[in-house]
Structure 1
Amino acid sequence: MLLCVTDMPTRRPSVDPNPPSPSRAIAFSVLIDSMRSDEGLEVLMDRALTRASLDGRDRGLAVEIAYGVMRRLGTIDWRLRPVLDKPLARLPVAVQMLLRMGAYQLLFLDRVPPSAAVSETVKLAKAQSRTLKRDWSGLVNAVLRALIREPSPPWPSIEEHAAEALAVRYSVPEWLSRRWIHRWGIDRAQSACEQASLIPPVTLRVNRLQISRDDFLSRLREAGLKAQPTRVSPAGITLGEGVSIPSLPGFSAGQFYVEDEAAQLIPPLLDVHPGDLVLDACAAPGGKATHLAELMKDIGRIYAVDRSKARLKVLEANCRRLGHSSLVP
């Protein structure tokens, strides 16, 4: 008897009925990419969010987890050490990052229930089983539940092991805490470490070839945003709350660039003028180069080079958005 091909049962592709949340999946992929790439976390996250269709809440969670893990990495690894039966570094990189993501949510994100932090991380681990050629979800589940169950260990003693104590508590490299202690003493070093561990405010540099700072401040406030001029930089604005940068007024028109206030203070020191010839030998993603272009009134030539082609593409995109034609990548 012949059986027509059309009579054969159709095998439907398997679909995970309970996939991990897209925000956590993006945070995981960005963190893994950051371990393998010379590109910064900001570039990788922007690229991932551009490709994804996430609402504002999910975008915010993806950014919070990815940046939070990197910001608190030293503390997270220290807290994981007692609940692991082998050194974290001996686990696959992906499993290390899964544990760090789960631990960050348990230790630092009060708005995420512990049960959700564990279950979502376990889902993510299951989703990686094929790539890892093993299901690590059991270990992830056990470690994170032990982290919830076990009492927090005491911090290392500042009196006895000052450099280690500051490094663990504030997630700064131990060589840096040791250097600051040597230069400034324990109290000032601790203050510096504490400041370094805080979430910085979103700071913008106004493109004053497009709009004045006062006028842009008015635009932001009219949009209901809390915005203040920076204390030192004459071009900066600090936002009082986290926002989606592309949704801000003036983004598409190139009226601002995201840049912290300290970085904004460097280009004016060069005292450039219209018509000058400038070489920026480490230019990407373009913050200081585009600031120089503004100070030169976009008249002259700035040769912007970087060892990373991918980062140079980001610079080119920033130049197009800001409307600068004096830069030559």
Structure 2
Amino acid sequence: MVLLSAPAPIGLLPRRLAWDVLQAVAAGAYADVALERVLRERDLKPSDRGLVTELAYGAIRQRRTLDAWLDRLGKVPALKQPPKLRWLLHVGLYQLLLMERIPDSAAVNTAVELAKSSKGLARLAPVVNGVLRAALRAREAGETLQLPNNLPAQLAQAHSLPDWFTQLLIEWRGAEGAAAVASACNRVPDLDLRVNRLRSSPAQVQQDLAAAGISSEPIVDCPDGLRISGHSGDLRDWPGYSEGYWCVQDCSAQSIAPLLDPQPGDRILDACAAPGGKATHVAELVGDQAEIWAVDRSPGRLKRVAANAARLGLASIHALAADAANLLEERPQWRESFQRILIDAPCSGLGTLARHPDARWRVTPESIRGLLPQQQALLDGLVPLLAPAGALVYATCTIHPDENQAQVQALLKRHPMLRLEQESQLWPDQVSGGGWVLFSPASAGLEHGINPGSIGVPGDQRFSQGNCPSRDRALAEAEVPRA
């Protein structure tokens, strides 16, 4: 007699991959990088790619909520569970409690099967089954989690955020404003494209996408932007990608390069350039008729700048692997030689928690304090490279005033020849999606202008005095973006 093993439940692979991402993030990986890796290694159909992304990002985003349910439903508190079991239960609970249109049987059966097939977890398969079925009973009974009475803890649990962050939000915005920002941190971000006007036009790209069944619409106050709705599949297969007609860039990030007001013939420095979204935007704005230096500490990441520039057909960008804070020491001939400088500074990323959900669990008050000297070093190291009457944009993707307004005010005290011309900030809950600070060329009697800018909402990519952490981001023109 031949015994045949039972077939694996349908949908097992996407859930296994999402579980892999959760374990990788718990071990220290960035969620976007871990997700990109598992998607790259498997040839999945679009619906399965979407499911992996939703399960991984959703479970990471809702970690605190899911732990609270584990504490309530299980015999062992979430933080005392074996890590592999905890993350597997998160995948199952997220489907049952926070997703729609997922059959209960699929969520439960796949989780139990994953436990059975995992080394060291097979004996706990009954635990997985018991917790998930208890969750079903709680859901059907209309049970909810009881929130703490303390307002910061209440907001933190309701929106799956750290207590220290919600406490700061209340200090910055008051109770009502803090609740609005906390809610925005869990908004599913849009997918925006930036059209390369040197090769196409927004109308033409929109038409090409429509012919392929991809819906898009122009973005208000974002002249080169298109917003995609209901996207799926690998964007590199979309019309116009290989031809360099467009790249992926949030509408908020698209607002930063224009703050420089770059002109043909300018010498321009992008100090923290990889993966090249803003450097290529600057090149497009000047018709590829400028000398643009894209500097980054990582030679590997600079390869992405070169690849993106080549795909977009841009020849004005020169890549340099160096520490931007020490450029004057390495290249003294660059003193006062750049008409435009963009400092896309390393930051806490508190303005991008919707797009990078793992940041809420990785960033701490201590890590933020550790970033402040780096930001100051970049500002002080690059101001001497600014030509008379030049402009400098300081950008981050954080909403923390210590990284934004405080850095700018301290810079003005250290360098009184600089002048703050205009300052404005919009918050994550503000639909228009941009806060920015502008220092422009100063009036008579001042040597320099400084033009620090920042754009974005946690559903987009850039925020408050501006921009982009210096670590590797999978969201790049040559990468598959995240939902």
TM-score of the superposed pair, with normalisation by structure 1: 0.82
The CA deviation at 1:314 is 4.5
1:72 is matched with 62
Greater Cα shift, 223-232 or 94-103: 223-232
**Which digits, 9 at most, give the CA deviation of each residue in 1:29-75, with x for residues without a partner?**
2332233355x433332332232121122111111111211222222
| Aligned counterparts of 1:35 and 1:213: Cα–Cα separation in 2 | 40
Selected match of 1:146 from 130, 134, 148: 134
* Structure 1 residues 169 and 307, CA gap change in structure 2 (3 angstroms): farther
Selected match of 2:155 from 163, 166, 169: 166
* Structure 1 residues 141 and 280, CA gap change in structure 2 (3 angstroms): farther
Taking every aligned residue pair, what percent have the same amino acid on both sides?
36
| Aligned counterparts of 1:90 and 1:282: Cα–Cα separation in 2 | 40
Greater Cα shift, 83-92 or 313-322: 313-322
**Which digits, 9 at most, give the CA deviation of each residue in 1:270-305, with x for residues without a partner?**
233345444444433332233233334344232231
Do the aligned partners of 1:202 and 1:241 also contact (CA within 8 Å) in 2?
Answer: no
| Aligned counterparts of 1:276 and 1:261: Cα–Cα separation in 2 | 25
Do the aligned partners of 1:126 and 1:135 also contact (CA within 8 Å) in 2?
Answer: yes
The CA deviation at 1:148 is 1.8
| Aligned counterparts of 1:305 and 1:74: Cα–Cα separation in 2 | 35
**Which digits, 9 at most, give the CA deviation of each residue in 1:174-233, with x for residues without a partner?**
222222222222222212222221112211122222212222122223333331111222
For structure 1, the residue ranges without an aligned partner over 5 or more in a row are 1-13
| Aligned counterparts of 2:195 and 2:146: Cα–Cα separation in 1 | 43
* Structure 1 residues 216 and 168, CA gap change in structure 2 (3 angstroms): same
Selected match of 1:57 from 47, 50, 73: 47
Classify the secondary structure of the residue corresponding to 1:249: coil
* Structure 1 residues 32 and 147, CA gap change in structure 2 (3 angstroms): same
Greater Cα shift, 21-30 or 275-284: 275-284
2:22 is matched with 31
The CA deviation at 1:313 is 5.0
Classify the secondary structure of the residue corresponding to 1:77: helix
For structure 2, the residue ranges without an aligned partner over 5 or more in a row are 321-483
Do the aligned partners of 2:273 and 2:279 also contact (CA within 8 Å) in 1?
Answer: yes
* Structure 1 residues 251 and 135, CA gap change in structure 2 (3 angstroms): farther
Q: After the TM superposition, which residues 249-328 of structure 1 pair with which residues of structure 2 at under 5 Å, given as runs?
A: 249-298=239-288, 299-307=290-298, 309=300, 311-325=301-315, 326-328=317-319
Q: How many residues align?
A: 310
| Aligned counterparts of 1:162 and 1:317: Cα–Cα separation in 2 | 48
* Structure 1 residues 280 and 75, CA gap change in structure 2 (3 angstroms): farther
AA at the equivalent of 2:19 = F
* 1:232 matched to 2:221: yes
Selected match of 1:220 from 189, 209, 214: 209
| Aligned counterparts of 1:154 and 1:47: Cα–Cα separation in 2 | 35
Q: Give the superposed CA RMSD.
A: 2.8
**Which digits, 9 at most, give the CA deviation of each residue in 1:123-154, with x for residues without a partner?**
2222321xx47643232222222222235334
TM-score of the superposed pair, with normalisation by structure 2: 0.58
Do the aligned partners of 1:177 and 1:193 also contact (CA within 8 Å) in 2?
Answer: yes
1:97 is matched with 87
Do the aligned partners of 1:155 and 1:165 also contact (CA within 8 Å) in 2?
Answer: no
Do the aligned partners of 1:203 and 1:239 also contact (CA within 8 Å) in 2?
Answer: yes
| Moved beyond 6 Å, runs of 4+ | none
Classify the secondary structure of the residue corresponding to 1:198: coil
* Structure 1 residues 308 and 187, CA gap change in structure 2 (3 angstroms): farther
Per residue, is there more strand in 1 or in 2?
A: 2
AA at the equivalent of 1:29 = D
2:197 is matched with 208
Greater Cα shift, 266-275 or 111-120: 266-275
AA at the equivalent of 1:232 = D
Do the aligned partners of 2:270 and 2:292 also contact (CA within 8 Å) in 1?
Answer: no
| Aligned counterparts of 2:211 and 2:239: Cα–Cα separation in 1 | 10
The CA deviation at 1:97 is 1.5
1:5 is matched with none
Classify the secondary structure of the residue corresponding to 1:136: helix
2:167 is matched with 178
* 1:190 matched to 2:179: yes
Per residue, is there more helix in 1 or in 2?
A: 1
* Structure 1 residues 146 and 285, CA gap change in structure 2 (3 angstroms): farther
**Which digits, 9 at most, give the CA deviation of each residue in 1:85-117, with x for residues without a partner?**
333233333222211111111112221112210
| Larger relative contact order (CA 8 Å, sep ≥ 6) | 2
AA at the equivalent of 1:125 = A
* Structure 1 residues 291 and 35, CA gap change in structure 2 (3 angstroms): farther
